[in-house]
Structure 1
Amino acid sequence: MAPVPETSIGQVAARTNYIERSQPLPSPVAILGRGFDRPDYADLFRPRLHSANIRNYHLENVHLDTAAMTLFKNGMKIRESNYLVPLEFYENACVIETDLIKLESVTEHVMARSFDNYYHWLVQTIPGLDWSARNIGPDNITLLSGDLKPWQAEILEILGYDRVSRIALDPRHHYFIPRLEYSEFQNGSTAFEISLSAQRVYDRLAAAAMDGTPVDAKILYVARTDSANRAAENEEALIRLLEAEGVRVVVPGSLSVPQQVNLFGKARAVLGPHGAGLTNVVFCRPGTIFYELLPSHYLNPCFSRLAQAAGLEYQIDLFDSAETVGEDPHMRGWILDTDLILSRVVEIKHRISAARSKRTAAPIPPEPEAASPLPLLAETTHLVIREKPAVEASGFLSRVWRRVLQ
């Protein structure tokens, strides 16, 4: 079989809108600790000087190979839709007319990838859905997704998008979609960038979910005990030491979304190994300390970007990887340096105490007003976008880019 030709989404889009345009960013607090003496490692995690340009594409009369989550226009694959799909799925993607499900054109359909991972749903689905709901209208869009998990439904309800009509995609069928909204959040091109519009969505979600209960814990440790991926071999030992220091250990997957929002939104510091539960740092108040623990074989800066967008004080250390046989970085273990981590916790406590003393000595400013939603777009612009690779990293980082963050 001859390979199916490819095209770019910018070439076949009927309209292209900016969700946000790049702007200069203030210099945040970022401490790159152990393991970042290498310039290439430091460059990867160093704060960004500008936020991202992020676009939304309006597509007409496209097909979807649901199993491969690949879009087609005029018989050609749209290469930007190839994200977090095994290479063989994308290579074999096609349009099958038999049992093709043809959607109606009465609403705009919003692609919401079948992400069942907390990070990907919150960071790569919700911001694009929010933009479409506010600029097209929640009654004029239909969400295309997989079956929703309870926490996904909770996020939609908190934001008021539970009334948006939805179609659960069946991976056994292909679809014809007359009108489709597809944002750059969906294909991973914004994962290592700063999005201010996404942070405004998280601020609204936090404001809606926050309650008046007192602070539960000043310092949170986000445990990975519910996941076999990238398991730290001595995490249980670290947990016992941290609990003795008064740190609260949480497993976000065992909590409701409002519980997670309240825990993180009221904490003074958050630390933990790289994993989807750390996505909740988007609900932290500006100035909250965020300390990330990362195995040296898995250099993924996505949480450093979320921290910068949220205005957090970010700190990170790299830890030694175990001599695990195999190529899959998610299955490789690693060793936490408990002495180093405990010393960091002591430093964090001092920073919290110093900040409290400073606040006590100074007049208390009024509470900031909640961020207002972005205005509706006044006009639509068609952009001519220069071609560029969807992934610029190579080697291991390129493989990381394509793996689900669990």
Structure 2
Amino acid sequence: MIEYLPSSFIFRLAPPDFDPEVKIIRAIKDNKEWVKPDFSSSYHRLQQFSLEDEWDTTPPYRHVAYNLLFEQVVISSESGLIRTHDGRMVADTFDHAQSSLDLFQYTDPHHVAIPKPQEKITGCWLSLLSSNQDNYYHCLVMNIGKLFQINPYEAIMIDGVLIPHHLTDVEYRAVKVALKLVFGDRAIEIKKIQWGQSIEVEKIFFPWNAVAVFFGYTHSGVISFFRQLSLVLDPLEVPLPTKFYIDRRAASNRVLQNEDELIEILEQHEFAIIQLEYLTFDEQLHLFANADHIIGAHGAGLANMVFCKPGTQIIELMPHTLVRWCYRQIAMVADLPYQCIITQSNSENEGIPPAWASHQISIPHILDVLKR
């Protein structure tokens, strides 16, 4: 039987006037200059599906990331749900969290209860806990990416790091490599937190807003950080393709029905066919860092774009009922030429959400793009 703390009011972090319990260590502005890249050919394909480009009315805009400090808190589960000293919950830590996994309970839309802590730890701990970390994009870009916010002076403040218990081998390796870049040869303590596990913590170092979830913007510092990760890796001693397609034939969702036909055409245009699920983190990083041309369907594998050098050309395949521009925005900030081919989703015929439904690509559309 799980024992719960008293129900707590939920509040959302709201800069620049943060809650009094939130201490601002540093604000990190994004000073990178960028302009909306040419999207004309992709825009034409949107129109063929009677879709509008939302960037025409609400383009992404630069924002500020913050390093925050919470004192005398309870932090709960792999999602890193934070309950402040005054007994209130930080709503931002619930984004993508699931009550069935994190074991919290809503008593009403504005109040929630989390399990009682069974342990107390002292010192200052960096929270790399995050919900939905089983999705590689969320884990890599939205969670590990916020490590760019920690400078050498702030790294000295940190005694240990809290990470989710259930990371894949690739995700855990990404965490270790990223921490090496931040902390160097210093032996930093790592503590794994399981689903529903709550602990009292003296201080939580909380990097926030590296990716603005509701505005679709990734801070350019995230890109700069990931491009440095190769500095702590040994080079691969095998040749790497510079043109490749991300093969999703083993995927359980968003099956591309005519992928075999697409792959046959891409091979004729000298694209290597890569199944990322069989590669280590180090291999994926080097593969994308070496690339000149990448084609891939909307999915977590494209998160590796953050390792690409400026000028790498990206072509994303996007189901017409699942138009999400997270990778387009990363491409813009990272100086990666970007095109999108809209595919025909079967979500209505299959009666399932667009994120899971199969889709089909127009072969003339991909041939048109390959000619450019």
TM-score (norm 1): 0.75
Identity score, percent: 18
Could you say which residue in structure 1 is the equivalent of 2:119? 101
Relative contact order: is structure 1 or structure 2 higher (C-alpha 8 Å, sep ≥ 6)? 1
Could you say which residue in structure 1 is the equivalent of 2:106? 91
CA contact (8 A) 2:211 2:219 kept: no
Secondary structure of 2:150's match? helix
Q: How does 1:107-256 map to 2 (within 5 A)?
A: 107-113=124-130, 115-132=133-150, 134-137=152-155, 140-147=158-165, 148-159=167-178, 160=180, 163-185=187-209, 189=213, 192-209=216-233, 211=235, 216-256=240-280
Paired letter, 2:90: I
1:170-229, Cα deviation, whole Å (9 max, x unpaired): 224322222112222478537711411111111111344473757632311112223212
1:62-91, Cα deviation, whole Å (9 max, x unpaired): 223327643222222211111112378562
CA contact (8 A) 2:241 2:291 kept: yes
Q: Which runs of 5+ in 1 are unaligned?
A: 348-406
Give, in whole Å, the separation in 1 of the partners of 2:120 and 2:190: 15
Paired letter, 2:106: E
Could you say which residue in structure 2 is the equivalent of 1:326? 351
CA contact (8 A) 1:231 1:333 kept: yes
Could you say which residue in structure 2 is the equivalent of 1:316? 340
| Alignment CA distance shift 1:242-1:329 (3 Å) | same
Could you say which residue in structure 2 is the equivalent of 1:82? 94
Cα root mean square deviation, aligned: 3.1
Give, in whole Å, the separation in 2 of the partners of 1:80 and 1:227: 30
CA contact (8 A) 1:33 1:317 kept: no
Could you say which residue in structure 2 is the equivalent of 1:360? none
- How far is 1:15 from its partner? 1.3
* 1:66 aligned residue (58, 77, 80): 77
Give, in whole Å, the separation in 2 of the partners of 1:276 and 1:246: 24
- How far is 1:168 from its partner? 0.7
Paired letter, 2:264: R
| Alignment CA distance shift 1:108-1:203 (3 Å) | same
CA contact (8 A) 2:212 2:218 kept: no
Secondary structure of 1:246's match? coil
CA contact (8 A) 2:76 2:199 kept: yes
| Alignment CA distance shift 1:121-1:45 (3 Å) | farther
TM-score (norm 2): 0.81
Give, in whole Å, the separation in 2 of the partners of 1:186 and 1:218: 29
Structure number having the greater strand percentage: 2
1:14 and 2:11 are equivalent in the alignment: no
Give, in whole Å, the separation in 2 of the partners of 1:49 and 1:328: 25
1:23 and 2:42 are equivalent in the alignment: no
Give, in whole Å, the separation in 1 of the partners of 2:80 and 2:278: 29
Using the TM superposition, name which of 333-342 and 183-192 deviates more: 183-192
CA contact (8 A) 1:320 1:335 kept: yes
Give, in whole Å, the separation in 1 of the partners of 2:98 and 2:266: 39
Give, in whole Å, the separation in 1 of the partners of 2:27 and 2:237: 35
Paired letter, 1:335: Q
Give, in whole Å, the separation in 2 of the partners of 1:261 and 1:291: 18
Give, in whole Å, the separation in 1 of the partners of 2:34 and 2:211: 27
Give, in whole Å, the separation in 1 of the partners of 2:290 and 2:244: 10
Paired letter, 1:8: R
1:80-131, Cα deviation, whole Å (9 max, x unpaired): 111112378562541443x522222x23332332513321122122232343
CA contact (8 A) 1:27 1:47 kept: no
1:43 and 2:54 are equivalent in the alignment: yes
